[in-house]
Amino acid sequence: MIVLYMIVSGLIPNPSIFRSNLTADLVFPDLHSPLIKPAPCHQAESSALLQLKKRFAITKFASQSSLSYTKTNSWNSSSDCCSWLGVKCDEQTGHVIGLDISSSQIYGSIESNSTLFQLSQLEKLNLSDNHFNYSHIPSSFAHLSRLTHLDLSGSKFSGEIPEEISQLSNLLVLDLCCNYDALSPPTNLLHFKQQNLGNVVQNLTNLQVLSLGYVNMSSPIPSALTNLSSLEYLCLLSTGVYGEFPIGIFLLPNLEYLNVGANQGLSGYLPEFHSSIPLQFLTLRSAGFRRNLPGSIGNLTRLIYLDLGYNQFKGNLPSSLLNITQLSYLDVSGNKLHGKIPLSIFSLENLSYMDLRGNHLSGQLELGMFLWSFKMLSVLCLSYNNLSLIIKPSAFNASLAMNITTLFLASCSMNEFPEILKDQDQLEELDLSNNKIKGTLPSWIYRKENLWVL
């Protein structure tokens, strides 16, 4: 089972967090048996690695991770390359079968004649979180025909993704995510030729992880993706894909993570879900989805993270949400949902983030219900609906959620300042604008040391 980690501080989650758990086996443990003397590293492969090391400079700015360090410092001609950090060898043959130099503060280009491509027995290669100086991904990667794992994410590769990648028919993991310049908005550095993604997908039929966030595609999503029955992780975040979303992707039998957010040219709708669907993470934020939220969404009982914000969903919030008992993150903001908030939603005891703002939800609710029902709650956004929030002294003050950092209650027809917030010491952002509050601000609001937005 894949362990799901989430970022709840941003509007669009960082896909690399969940992805890193799927690709964790690109970091190689010491598996040497004390009973069998491993075969030594091949001299030609040791030399190839040392030549690779010479081509790069080491500089801290080349890696973004605060945990980065220079793995290649341990590489030298006086020791067996199988003992070097980031290098894994086959114990029987001595061939290098794994290379993980991720987050190694490497700066420089990789050319098609790089000695990296002499490591013909490589099965797992992780070059993520370095700075390869905007070099193109060499077509020579096709020479590494045994690769099952290829991670080039966040490493400042640029240009067109070579078709030769499709020749790596053994790939289980292909991660080209997050090669961008961090401007506002980010500038994507990699791109596929139109239709090339379809060609790649048709050949890589064993894929379990396909991570292409921030890769420019500017094409429809190929229907061939619906044939990848082993796929567990799919990220097409901010790729410029457009057209109707293939509904069969939702129904893939092993898919746990799906992110197609920030693709405003997409359109689509949610299918009828059945209980065997293993989705844990689903974000369709700003992706042009429409129609009602189906009641069968409650069959996604493994969901932990659900972001449907800024689409064209309408109708009611399904009461079947109560079945998703593990749900921690719920965002349906910026849609056209209407009707009352179903009381069943207050059964979701694990919610830490709930954003319902910018819909047409209506009804009268007590603010204390949210703070009492959701003990883990840190973010609550109800602004700009047709809600009427009432403030009552709560008999459950001792049991209120005490980790609230963000509370957006603009335009909620509130008549008084919520005294219930007096003991919320973690509060950082509070929006009570466009209400009907009269009188004087309570003195305790000035003692909120963490409050920076009011």
DSSP secondary structure letter of residue 285: T
The β-bridge relationship of strands 329-331 and 312-315 is unpaired
The two three-digit tokens of residue 338, written as one number: 């209407």
Supply the pLDDT for residue 2.
Answer: 38
The predicted structure's pLDDT at residue 247: 96
Q: Average pLDDT per run of 10 along the chain, which is 454 residues long?
A: 35 50 52 67 96 96 95 93 96 96 97 96 98 96 97 97 93 97 84 81 94 94 94 97 96 98 96 96 97 96 98 96 97 97 94 98 93 93 96 65 92 92 93 94 92 94
- Alpha-carbon torsion, ordered 321, 323, 326, 327, to 10 deg: 0
* Contact (Cβ atoms closer than 8 angstroms) between residue 405 and residue 453: no
- The pLDDT value recorded for residue 9 is 30
CB 305 within 8 A of CB 285: no
Judged on CB neighbours under 10 Å (0-12, 13-18, 19+), 308 is: buried
> Can you read off the two tokens belonging to residue 372?
């009492």
Give the chain's domains with CATH numbers.
Answer: 1-30+158-350 (3.80.10.10), 39-131 (3.80.10.10), 356-454 (3.80.10.10)
**DSSP designation for 317:** P
On the 0-12 / 13-18 / 19+ scale of CB atoms within 10 A, 443 is exposed
- For 138-166, give the DSSP string: PGGGGG-TT-SEEE-TTS--BEEPPGGGG
